[in-house]
Structure 1
Amino acid sequence: MRPTLRQLEYIVAVADTGQVGLAAAQLNVSQPSLSAQLADVEADLGITLFQRGRAGAKITPVGKEIVRRARQILHELEDLRAAAQGGGIFQGRLRLGVLPSIGPYLLPEVVRRLHAEHPSFRLIVREESTRDLSEGLRSGRLDMIISTPEDHPGARKAHLFKEHLWAAMALDHPLAQSNSALRIGDLRGQTLLTLGSMHRLSHIVAGLAARAGGRVSDEYEGTSLDAIRLMAATGAGIAILPSIYAATEARRGTDVSLLAISDTAANRDLALIQPQLPEPRPGSEVLADILRHEAETLMNRPTE
């Protein structure tokens, strides 16, 4: 049957690298052989997958759909082999996309545990914005993602945990003297600092600002939680931080005062998300349990 599974691997490799030569080296085949196989597939299907030139191999619109389906077929083959060996996802490689506001703080201990318990398992992590994670899951570039479930309709979701939000402010900020959690009214008139608009967190913060009568800074959009915390330390505003970050990174320093925000809207849900196939990938619930356990451990740490 054509295209063959090997030809599908060639197609995906060229799409990933953008270069026939790089794809050939990655797959340990000669460039002329790979080019000939691509030409055979295009002839069999009656389409052009890539526009090839000096700049590389640029995927065509119809090629994008073929690559997406090729990835899905190859993933299902990997799942079949893993199921036969009894290890599910832990028998091979998993490309996991994760929000940069959660990955560096949640994953280190998770990766250590996975390596100890499943030494043959390869976890490849990509930190991307909410929007890019959605594209990666749809295209098959990512196998699973850790993200906010409301941003990925039509996908299969396993709830992991709910993060409450914290306010970080300069040590001499008037609100820093409070000995209790902040109420939504305490943020009235305040300038709130958050990540850029491609991140769900920015929309949550905008909603809090609107309800409180505050404003989101239009002078500074952070690219990382560290960046907005440091801006808050200078007195530029109040940084809104998720609880896992607050319980790991922020608590190590003394440059800001941290206070919980007591409001039903001051939280975000995180889920392990994968394409909506008839069945979840074998072993994905085990991964979800490990992530839940580590998140609970982190969020139960004191923040000061």
Structure 2
Amino acid sequence: MRPTLRQLQYLVEVADCGRFGLAAERLNISQPSLSTQIGEAEADLGARVFNRGRHGATLTEAGVEIVRRARRILNEMEDLRASVTGDGIFDGRLRLGVLPSIGPYLLPGVVHELHRDHPSFRLVIREEATTDLEQGLRAGRLDMILSTPEDHPGTLQTPLFHESLWAALAPDDPLAATDAPLAPDALAGRSLLTIGPRHRLSGIVAELAAQANAHVPDEYEGTSLAAIRIMAAAGNGVAVLPRLYAAAEARRIGDTVMRRIDAPRTQRTIALIQPAAFEPRPGTDILAGALSREANRLMDDL
């Protein structure tokens, strides 16, 4: 069968590296051999996959779809092999995309548990905005993602946990005087701080601002949850934070006072998401269970 699985692997590696020389080095073959194999694959497919130039190898329009399908075929082969060993996704490498508002706080404990129980497992983590996670999953650059399910239609989704939203307030803010939940009208006229519009959280906060007659300032767009927390601590607005971050990081640092926001739709669901298939990849339930347990353990502290 042409192209061969090895040639599909070569196509994906060149696409990932962007250069034939670097791909050959990572594949431990000579660059002329790699070029020959890529040329044969292109001939068998009847389409040029890469544009070759001084600045490296870039995918052609046809190449984008070819590499996407090649990734899927290689993943299917990995799953076939894993079904025999019984290790599923833990028999090899898993490229996991995560929201920056989740990854640094949820994954350390999970990674420790998984590597303890599955020593050969290699987890490659990429922190990206919601829109980039969607593109990476569709293109096959990511095997699975941790994200908000409504932003990834037509995928296979395993719900993990729900997060309420919390307000981070400067200690001298009048709203910080009690620990009771905040009703939307308590935020009327206030500046609500959030991260950029490529994140689902931004849309949730914009909806909250409309409901509470508050506003999201145009002059400041946070690049991270830590950045908007620091702004709130300085009295420059109310930072709206998801519960996981509030429990694992904001409360630990202690420069703001945390109060839960009690308003409709002020929560988000996080799911483990993978490309559409007849059934989840083997081992998905183990990974989902570890993620869900760790998230709930952390959030129970708030």
Band of TM-score, shorter chain: over 0.9
Structure 1 distance, partners of 2:255, 2:58, is 48
Counterpart in 2 of 1:63? 63
Percent of aligned pairs sharing the same letter: 62
Counterpart in 2 of 1:113? 113
- Secondary structure, counterpart of 2:261 in structure 1: strand
Structure 1 distance, partners of 2:221, 2:41, is 46
Equivalence map 1:269-288=2 (5 Å): 269-288=269-288
User: Which 4+ runs in 1 deviate beyond 3 A?
Assistant: none
C-alpha deviation, 1:253, in angstroms = 2.0
Counterpart in 1 of 2:256? 256
- Secondary structure, counterpart of 1:104 in structure 2: helix
Structure 1 distance, partners of 2:45, 2:125, is 34
Counterpart in 2 of 1:142? 142
C-alpha deviation, 1:179, in angstroms = 3.0
Which range moves more in the overlay, 175-184 or 147-156?
175-184
C-alpha deviation, 1:123, in angstroms = 0.7
- Secondary structure, counterpart of 1:271 in structure 2: strand
Task: For structure 1, list consecutive stretches of 5 or more residues without a partner in the other structure.
Answer: none
C-alpha deviation, 1:92, in angstroms = 1.2
Structure 2 distance, partners of 1:246, 1:43, is 54
Structure 2 distance, partners of 1:179, 1:48, is 62
Structure 1 distance, partners of 2:41, 2:68, is 15
Structure 2 distance, partners of 1:114, 1:292, is 13
Amino acid of the residue matched to residue 135 of structure 1? Q
Structure 2 distance, partners of 1:166, 1:132, is 25
Counterpart in 2 of 1:185? 185
Please provide the CA RMSD for this pair: 0.7
Structure 1 distance, partners of 2:220, 2:99, is 20
C-alpha deviation, 1:219, in angstroms = 1.2
Counterpart in 1 of 2:297? 297
Structure 2 distance, partners of 1:136, 1:244, is 24
Structure 2 distance, partners of 1:254, 1:271, is 29
Amino acid of the residue matched to residue 262 of structure 1? D
C-alpha deviation, 1:223, in angstroms = 1.0
C-alpha deviation, 1:278, in angstroms = 1.6
Task: For structure 2, list consecutive stretches of 5 or more residues without a partner in the other structure.
Answer: none
C-alpha deviation, 1:122, in angstroms = 0.6
Structure 2 distance, partners of 1:22, 1:165, is 44
Equivalence map 1:127-276=2 (5 Å): 127-276=127-276
Which range moves more in the overlay, 136-145 or 36-45?
36-45
Structure 2 distance, partners of 1:68, 1:179, is 50
Amino acid of the residue matched to residue 78 of structure 1? E
- Secondary structure, counterpart of 1:68 in structure 2: helix
Structure 1 distance, partners of 2:118, 2:34, is 34
Structure 1 distance, partners of 2:162, 2:174, is 29
Structure 2 distance, partners of 1:195, 1:63, is 34
Structure 2 distance, partners of 1:19, 1:144, is 25
Amino acid of the residue matched to residue 243 of structure 2? S
Amino acid of the residue matched to residue 108 of structure 1? P
C-alpha deviation, 1:39, in angstroms = 1.0
Amino acid of the residue matched to residue 301 of structure 1? D
Counterpart in 1 of 2:124? 124
Structure 2 distance, partners of 1:28, 1:179, is 60
Structure 2 distance, partners of 1:263, 1:116, is 40
Structure 2 distance, partners of 1:268, 1:187, is 20
Counterpart in 2 of 1:84? 84
C-alpha deviation, 1:255, in angstroms = 1.4
CA offsets, 1:196-254, max 9 Å, x none? 00000000000000010000121111111101000111111000000011111111123
C-alpha deviation, 1:28, in angstroms = 0.3
Amino acid of the residue matched to residue 245 of structure 2? Y
- Secondary structure, counterpart of 2:293 in structure 1: helix
Structure 2 distance, partners of 1:158, 1:279, is 11
Counterpart in 1 of 2:39? 39
Amino acid of the residue matched to residue 288 of structure 1? A
- Secondary structure, counterpart of 1:207 in structure 2: helix
C-alpha deviation, 1:160, in angstroms = 0.4
Q: TM-score, normalized by length of structure 1?
A: 0.98
Structure 2 distance, partners of 1:279, 1:244, is 29
C-alpha deviation, 1:263, in angstroms = 1.5
Counterpart in 2 of 1:73? 73
Amino acid of the residue matched to residue 102 of structure 1? I
CA offsets, 1:108-148, max 9 Å, x none? 00000001111111111100000000001001100000000
Structure 2 distance, partners of 1:9, 1:254, is 49
Amino acid of the residue matched to residue 260 of structure 1? R
